[in-house]
Amino acid sequence: QISPSDAHALKRSGTAKYLTRIGSTFTELSGCLGTMANSYKLRCSIPGHEMDVRGLATAVFPEGAFVSVSRDRTGRVWVPNSSPDKGFTEMHCMSGHSNFVSCVCIIQPNETYPRGLIATGGNDNNICIFTMDQPQPLFTLKGHNNTVCTLSSGKFGTLLSGSWDTTARVWLNEKCMMTLQGHSAAVWAVIILPEQGLMLSGSADKTIKLWKAGRCEKTFTGHEDCVRGLAVISNTEFLSCSNDSSIRRWLVTGECVQVYYSHTNYIYSIDVFPNGQDFISTGEDRTVRIWRNGECVQTIRLPAQSVWCCCILPNGDIAVGASDGIIRVFSEAHDRIASAEDLQTFEDELAKATIDPKTGDLGDIKTEDLPGREHLSEPGNRDGQTRLIKEGQNVEAYQWSVGDARWVKIGDVVGGSNQQTSKCVMYEGKEYDYVFTIDVNEGGPSMKLPYNISEDPWLTAHNFLQKNDLSPMFLDQVANFIIENTKGHVVGPAQPTGGDPFTGQSDADFFSPPTGSGRYIPGSGPTPGPPGGVVDPFTGSGAYSSADLRQRATNSYFPKTDGVMFEQANASQIIAKLKELNAAAPQEQKLSEDVLESLSRLLSTVCAPGATEPPPNIQQINSLWKASHLPEDIVFPVLDIMRLAVRHPQVNETLCGEAEGVQLCNHLLSLMRPEGRAANQMLALRTLCNCFSGRQGRSLLLAQRETVLSRAADLAAVCNKNIHIALATLVLNYAGCLHGQPDLEAKAQCLSVASRALETVQDKEAVFRLLVALGTTVASDQTAQDLARSLGVNSQILKYSTVSDPSKVGECCQLVLKQLQ
């Protein structure tokens, strides 16, 4: 008989069948338990790799295939065979990395590669791209400065990588489109959400960051240690796993909605079943765990300490890779389960394993208090439950298997409590076995390094260097110091020089080393209004007719390759305001009458280019440059003069030349600081836009593109429509210069900045110019179109397709969407 409370406990555990022995028969307990999934059992073991299997990914082709990568520097494609052992055959072995391979993912098929591509990342800092049937790389992606430890693929061929160099990178084809910077430690996990262009990265800094169009939109906190894995549940939810032994379920809006506990050590990987709810996880506790309805329903132990990776195959089987170099596949389908002999062999391997109690997986052990074998006569109350028994002088560990209704030996416990050192050294409120004094720099301050013998010396060394901001070149020195000074007490064998800072696994060459008073208000001149005529929507002249546009076969909006300038001005008001502010300025800040006269003549010249005024001379240009360094509260009239002056060929060539151009750029960027004055920000942006009118200005801004657009993008957060219009125009002018050019990285930044600006910009003119910038960037460029789609531009701009006031916004948006179909 079974009590209601026991029945409830059985149901909560989510197992398929509970069997109780009555005499020599088994009776199936059902009714209150309901219908549940079967337990997973071994399907086959694949001993192909020579070292740790660090990554697994399900392949698109051939059917049922998967790819593995290893510390043996290879990747291998495995296909199911029809032999009685229900195993897999190696299709081919891939090589291309000069050091261990740490991660793998599949790039989805396209017209060029209908079977998809394989991407692998390694300790040589590179990403190798393979076809499904060739052993050598198709091409290699270079850019990271340290181990590439995680990869994820998205739509249209987008690839996201994470590295120990603390960055994530977005790749398309053979180019790095953008670098995501924001983490303070190694990026161990990345994923791309299927829609919206959202990307996620998890780091050793314990945080997860959400990225959109290259910008960090949100930081998730909650994990207490390194984030090691991420997995997509849906467009709005994802899972994370961590060295803190927990799994967390998050909403992309920032809330952690559930925390799962069952693992007893680091959790390395996680994968989600097609139903989007159930998942599997693996970790340093030697287990793969199956989770259903939020609970761990099955624990499968392996005869290897580190279970690095897992993937779910299309038929629902599970593949896992471990530190013993073996891939094991588990299935819940009876016709794919291994033979009785193979199952017994696996169980025997598990029984021969040794477990060190210092890992903490089994809790505190007091050998003298342990029961004998009679303790195994009682059934367990959940799958994966462990019991320790004393067998003579030995301690054995057993795990309850619900599927088999019996206790299965999972190893011999070595090194009981009588072999442990007692913690007696206090440091920062905690007890440690050792607290070493480390002198890294002669004559410099010494540093304390606390250490417990149950810890990995390589992980401890890595954390010590990171905490004290020391170079990783000291890793070997510090780790070997720990090993040398704790001989006889280190768990496991001493590691060779160098190693994964979280695992101790190594290869020999790891880690080498307001505006004031008066009538003049900057930016108050006429803003280009609704486009007049279909020929140029930016001119503001004439009457605009959408019917005219529909009658034309050509797209009148983009690509727009001629620059858009800010040319409106009232010269007399600008000079009057400059003189007013100059008169009120302290004596040491006043401009001389000669400088004021020089600026007045320069303004007259550049505002009347067709008149008989002589061209600007070097004295006038020098006066302009000097006056542009007035205090920020009075400089804006001078910036307005500069905005108009840089349109003149002579001024453009002088101020934007090879020698002076960088100084001009840096000065304008300093005025665009987010905390700066809005008038200066707007006029600096307009000046940069007008620099595109001359050859020297275009060359300067293309050379300084990354810095200029990065600073300008921050001004989207300023609530000022004139700043937004100027920002949109700057992006548009860049897009026009880049049209027809093969610079994909530059186009990626234009897409990113435009996409980010559209998140906050409300003014319809600014929105229109950003849409034209997007259209110009993607026009006649398939790769740029793919990148825009992967960034979620389609869904982002869709809301503008129905805008009818002004009609140019909706019409331009529809044309951009057509490009991205």
Measured distance CA(774)–CA(791) in Å, rounded: 12
Structure tokens at 138: 């198709």
Nearest to 477 by CA among 492, 464, 490: 464
SS3 state of residue 775? helix
Rounded Cα distance between 249 and 291, Å, is 13
The vertex-254 CA angle with 250 and 255, nearest 5°, equals 60
Counted residue by residue, the chain has a size of: 821
Residue for token digits 């953008």? 178
Determine the pLDDT at residue 501: 29
> CB of 388 within 8 A of CB of 397?
yes
Residue 24's pLDDT is 30
Return the number of other C-beta atoms located less than 10 Å from residue 314's C-beta: 13
Tokens of residue 809, six digits: 């916004």
User: Residue 291 forms beta bridges with which residues?
Assistant: 279, 296
Quick one: tokens of 713? 């993008």
Confidence of residue 104 (pLDDT cuts 50, 70, 90): very high
Buried b or exposed e, range 652-664, using 16+ CB within 10 angstroms: bbbbbeeebbeeb
Pairwise CA distance, residues 438 & 753, whole Å: 46
What sign for the dihedral angle of Cα 296, 302, 308, 309? negative
Please state which of the ranges 10-14, 441-445, 650-654, 662-666 shows the lowest mean pLDDT.
Answer: 10-14
Q: How far is it, in rounded angstroms, from Cα 654 to Cα 642?
A: 12
Mean pLDDT, range 190-204, rounded to an integer = 89
Residue 175 pairs with which residues in a beta bridge? 172
What mean pLDDT is reported for the chain?
Answer: 82
In the predicted model, is pLDDT for residue 495 greater than 80? no
Average the pLDDT over each of 154-163, 360-369, 580-589 and give the range with the smallest value.
Answer: 360-369
Query: What is the CB neighbour count within 10 angstroms for residue 751?
Result: 28
Place 96 in a pLDDT band, splitting at 50, 70 and 90. Answer: very high
pLDDT above 50: residue 528: no
> Among candidates 110, 108, 111, which has minimal Cα distance to 119?
108
Question: What is the C-alpha separation between 621 and 601, in angstroms, rounded?
Answer: 11
Residue 701 structure tokens: 């801004």
Q: Provide CB contacts within 8 A for 799, sequence distance 6+.
A: none
- If you average pLDDT over residues 505-519, what whole number do you get? 33
Q: 486 or 231: which carries more pLDDT confidence? A: 231
CA distance 773 to 679: 24
Helix axes 618-627, 636-645, angle to 10 degrees: 140
Percentage of residues in the chain with pLDDT exceeding 90? 56
Per the CB < 8 A criterion, the answer to whether 125 and 148 are in contact is yes
pLDDT of residue 420: 39
Q: What is the pLDDT of residue 144?
A: 95
Contacts of 294 (CB under 8 A, 6+ apart): 258, 260
Summarize pLDDT for 549-563 with one digit per residue, the tens: 343 346 889 999 999
* Cβ-Cβ contacts under 8 Å for 55 (sequence gap 6 or more): 68, 69, 101, 102, 103, 104, 120, 308, 309, 321
Give the pLDDT of residue 188.
95
Helical pair 636-645 and 571-584, crossing angle rounded to 10 deg? 150
Rounded to whole angstroms, the maximal C-alpha distance in the chain is 116
Interacting residues of 279 by C-beta distance below 8 A, sequence separation 6+:
231, 239, 270, 271, 272, 273, 291
pLDDT of residue 676: 92
Whether residue 402 has pLDDT greater than 50: yes
Chain centroid to CA 725: 31
Cβ pair 288, 267 in contact under 8 A: no
Average pLDDT over residues 739-756: 89
| Cross-strand bridge partners of residue 178 | 170
Q: Where are the alpha helices (DSSP H) in 692-743?
A: 695-703, 705-714, 721-738
| Tens-digit pLDDT profile for residues 603-619 | 999 987 665 678 899 99
Least confidently predicted of 79-88, 182-191, 242-251: 79-88
768-771 own/partner pairs: CB under 8 Å, 24+ apart = 768/537, 768/728, 768/806, 768/808, 768/809, 768/812, 769/564, 769/725, 769/728, 769/729, 769/731, 769/732, 770/728, 770/731, 770/732, 771/557, 771/797, 771/800, 771/809, 771/812, 771/813, 771/816
Average pLDDT for 215-225: 93
According to the per-residue pLDDT averaged within each range, which of 84-88, 467-471, 688-692 is highest?
Answer: 688-692
Nearest to 29 by CA among 20, 42, 40, 41: 20
Structure tokens, 464: 């010590």
Q: Is the pLDDT of residue 29 over 60?
A: no
Question: Is 214 a residue whose pLDDT tops 50?
Answer: yes
What is the bridge-based pairing of β-strands 406-413 and 354-355? Answer: parallel
Residue 111: its pLDDT value, please?
86
Backbone phi, psi, residue 804, to 5°: -115, -5
Residue 539 has pLDDT above 80, yes or no: no
> How high is the pLDDT of residue 770?
97
Confidence of residue 34 (pLDDT cuts 50, 70, 90): very low
Decide if 457 contacts 495 (C-beta within 8 A): yes
Cα 468 to Cα 588: distance, rounded to the nearest angstrom: 47
Q: Which residues pair with 129 in a beta bridge?
A: 119, 139
Residue 538 pLDDT: 61
Concatenated DSSP letters for 473-487?
A: GGHHHHHHHHHHHTT
C-alpha to C-alpha distance for 186 and 464, rounded to whole angstroms: 15
pTM: 0.65
Express each pLDDT in 759-790 by its tens digit.
Answer: 889 999 999 999 999 999 999 998 899 888 88
pLDDT number for residue 32: 32
Cis ω before 303 (30° cut-off from 0): no
What proportion of the chain, given as a percentage, has pLDDT over 70? 81
Residues 6+ apart with CB under 8 A from 696: 652, 653, 656, 657, 661
What's the pLDDT at 157? 86
| 6 contacts: CB under 8 Å, gap ≥ 6 | 381
> Residue 506: pLDDT above 60?
no
Q: Can you give the pLDDT at residue 651? A: 95
Residue 468 and residue 459 in contact, taking contact as beta carbons nearer than 8 Å: no
Q: Phi and psi of 249, rounded to 5°?
A: -110, 125
pLDDT in tens, 413-433: 765 443 334 445 666 667 777
Look at residue 18 and tell me whether its pLDDT is greater than 50: no
Mean local confidence (pLDDT), 37-45: 88
Residues 6+ apart with CB under 8 A from 551: none
Mean pLDDT of the 195-208 span: 90
